[in-house]
């Protein structure tokens, strides 16, 4: 199993967004080191058809980490074996999703409440693959550093290769500032690499997080959607180079549109284009207007024509 580059830059797993088209878009700006898939339900993976599944049929998996969701060791093991066959860089277990529709099944962050179940899940995955096994998790249900460290030590003892900490508690949801000090505490205790995640909104934040916490790399979520060129800028900053100018946003949106049309059936492409527009439009003063207009369109062609018209009329 290859070592992680140091420092390592990851794009975060994001449902409906960390798909092949966004990954290709980010690769076009020089890319990050490793990408995450959207979370894949371990119950669904075995019934997805490898040639037609919108989640599985991509050839470029050498820099991809599949993220799986579930709490049944047998299902995790079966999903792990199937995903291993795609020769990805690694497989990650989601122990951080805080949404009720996920935790009510005992999945995602619910595993942080049940250390025994989490241990069984990770040991089942470890047995099903020789590839890198990681866990993306949160601080815990409460802001209790000792609980977080005990939980992480258990994962390390079970053979996890690296950890990604989204530095919020479950009850924080996506609110309040990420608690970077917990990333530092985790790094201090663990012997495996620790990746920090939460509130990297500009390239300087990535450098600050690594300097303040000593973490081995960073994961960027929302701001990789808003500025798909953010990794290029982080790399430049780390190398002490000048930052390039921001790219032309209409061209960026056009590239994503073309990639979605190339990789997905028309209905999925349109749905995903509308979802992506919400994030890319955050670069614009009247982005909400653009999102509303795109939301009304019925075809990919109409959606792009609508965006081009907004830019032509200068209302963005
Ligand atoms: C739209 C959206 C979807 C997400 N989906 C996932 C997911 O599938 N798996 C996961 O572990 N985290 C998921 N997350 C959480 C992100 O991976 C990340 O931990 C969080 O956004 C904090 O990082 P950021 O401040 O850089 O955005 C999602 C976040 C967003 C905004």
Residue 308: burial class (beta carbons within 10 Å; 0-12, 13-18, 19+): middle
Q: In this structure, which residue's CA is closest to atom 21 in ligand 1?
A: 221
Top mutation candidate among 9, 12, 230 for ligand 1, by most atoms within 8 Å of CB: 12
pLDDT tens digits, residue range 243-293?
999 999 999 999 999 999 999 999 999 999 999 999 999 999 989 999 999
Closest CA to ligand 1's atom 13? 14
In this structure, the residues whose C-beta lies within 6 A of any atom of ligand 1 are 12-15, 17, 38-39, 67, 94, 96-97, 136, 166, 197-200, 220-223
* Ligand 1 centre distance from Cα of residue 17 (Å): 10
Which residue from 75, 74, 151 is spatially nearest to 116, judged by alpha carbons? 151
**Overall CATH class of domain 8-238:** alpha beta
Report whether the peptide linkage leading into residue 7 is cis, meaning its omega lies within 30 degrees of zero. yes
For residues 83 and 129, give the distance between their C-alpha atoms in angstroms, rounded to a whole number: 9
CA distance 26 to 163: 23
Q: Comparing C-alpha atoms, which of 171, 182, 177, 216 is closest to residue 200?
A: 177
The strand ranges marked E within 70-174 are 90-95, 132-138, 162-166
Q: Residue ranges of the domains in the chain?
A: 8-238, 249-312
> What is the Cβ-side half-sphere exposure of residue 160, based on CA atoms within 13 angstroms?
28
Q: What does the block give as tokens for 84? A: 């291993």
CA gap 235, 263 in Å, rounded: 28
The pTM score is 0.97
Q: Residue written as tokens 């690694």?
A: 90
The encoded tokens of residue 206 equal 């990535």
Q: Which atom of ligand 1 is nearest to the CA of 222?
A: 27
> What per-residue confidence (pLDDT) applies to 59?
65
pLDDT in the model for residue 20: 95
> What spacing in Å lies between the alpha carbon of 13 and ligand 1's midpoint?
6
Cα(190) to centroid of ligand 1, in Å? Answer: 23
Ligand 1 centre to CA of 112 (Å) is 17
Q: What pLDDT score was predicted for residue 79?
A: 97
Determine the pLDDT at residue 313. 87
**CA–CA dist 153, 149 (Å, integer):** 6
From the CA of 92, give the closest atom in ligand 1.
11
CA of 98 to the centre of ligand 1 (A): 10
H or E element: which one contains 32? Answer: none
Measure the CA–CA gap between 228 and 24, rounded to whole angstroms.
10
Residue 119 has a CB neighbour count (10 Å cut-off) of 17
Closest CA to 201 of 224, 183, 179, 217: 224
How many CA atoms, within 13 angstroms, populate the side-chain half-sphere of residue 204? 1
* Mean pLDDT rounded to a whole number for the chain: 96
Low-confidence ranges of the chain (pLDDT < 50): none
pLDDT for the residue 316: 63
pLDDT at 60: 75
Residues annotated catalytic, as ranges: 97
d(CA 251, CA 80): 38
């Amino acid at each position: 199993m290859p070592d992680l580059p140091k420092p390592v830059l990851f794009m975060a797993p994001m449902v409906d967004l960390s798909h092949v088209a966004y990954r290709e878009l980010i690769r076009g700006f020089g890319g990050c080191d490793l990408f995450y898939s959207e979370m894949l339900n371990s119950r669904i993976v075995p019934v997805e058809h490898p040639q037609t599944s919108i989640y599985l049929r991509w050839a470029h998996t050498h820099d991809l980490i599949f993220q799986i969701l579930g709490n049944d060791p047998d299902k995790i093991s079966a999903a792990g074996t199937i995903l291993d066959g795609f020769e990805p860089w690694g497989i990650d277990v989601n122990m951080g999703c805080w949404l009720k529709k996920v935790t009510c099944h005992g999945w995602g962050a619910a595993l942080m409440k049940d250390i025994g179940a989490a241990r069984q899940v990770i040991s089942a995955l470890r047995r099903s693959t020789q590839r890198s096994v990681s866990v993306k998790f949160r601080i815990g249900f409460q802001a209790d550093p000792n609980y977080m460290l005990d939980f992480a030590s258990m994962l390390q003892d079970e053979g996890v290769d690296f950890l990604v900490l989204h530095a919020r508690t479950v009850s924080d949801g996506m609110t309040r500032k990420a608690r970077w000090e917990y990333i530092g505490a985790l790094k201090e205790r663990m012997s495996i690499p620790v990746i920090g995640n939460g509130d990297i909104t500009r390239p300087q934040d990535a450098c600050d997080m690594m300097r303040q916490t000593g973490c081995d790399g960073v994961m960027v979520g929302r701001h990789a959607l808003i500025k798909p060129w953010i990794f290029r800028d982080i790399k430049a900053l780390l190398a002490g180079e000048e930052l390039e100018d921001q790219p032309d946003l209409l061209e960026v949106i056009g590239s994503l549109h073309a990639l979605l049309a190339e990789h997905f059936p028309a209905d999925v492409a349109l749905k995903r284009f509308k979802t992506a527009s919400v994030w890319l439009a955050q670069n614009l003063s009247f982005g909400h207007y653009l999102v509303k207009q795109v939301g009304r369109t019925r075809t990919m062609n109409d959606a792009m024509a609508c965006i081009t018209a907004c830019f032509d009329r200068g209302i963005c």
